[in-house]
Amino acid sequence: MQQANKGRHKLIFEPRDWVWLHMRKERFPVQRHSKLLPRGNGPFQVLERINDNAYKLDLPGEYNVSATFNVTNLSPFVAGDDDLRANPSQEGGNYEDIKAVKIRGLVQVPVGPVMRARAKRFKEELNNLVQRVLQ
């Protein structure tokens, strides 16, 4: 038993936590009709903790399934990620050596290689700066 449980860790969510939902084909046939569609969806808020393995989520009515899920179908939502569905290795770079220089306290300009996620973030910051200047 010790060897079988060696890599496992206990995952417990509290009400008002945010989680990603793994959409299994058996439970969500309409949303998972193609294998190319994303397997995760969310984030959804935990409404109630039934026990350590079962949680009730705040699901929209379009899913037409019970809102109670096993913990194996949930993963924690980490706020602040750039693109939560993208794998960082797909971006083609190492995120640990990313640096940015702040220009006059207005906008952060990336220093070093620019990847898609960083370019998108930089574009959003520039748009926000333009909106602030025009107001």
User: Do residues 104 and 60 both lie within one domain?
Assistant: no
Closest-CA residue to 42 (of 10, 67, 14): 67
User: Do residues 72 and 24 both lie within one domain?
Assistant: yes
pLDDT at 90 over 50: no
User: Do residues 65 and 112 both lie within one domain?
Assistant: no
Residue 56: what pLDDT? 95
Domain count, the chain: 2
User: Do residues 111 and 66 both lie within one domain?
Assistant: no
Where are the extended beta strands (E) located within 3-135?
A: 18-22, 40-49, 54-57, 68-70, 74-76, 99-103, 107-111
User: Do residues 71 and 98 both lie within one domain?
Assistant: no
Q: CATH number of the domain that 37 lies in?
A: 2.30.30
Q: How confident is the model at residue 111 (pLDDT cuts 50, 70, 90)?
A: low
User: Do residues 62 and 36 both lie within one domain?
Assistant: yes
Range with lowest mean pLDDT among 59-63, 96-100, 119-123: 96-100
Q: How many residues does the chain have?
A: 135
| Structural domain harbouring 129 | 94-134
Q: Is the pTM of this model over 0.75?
A: no
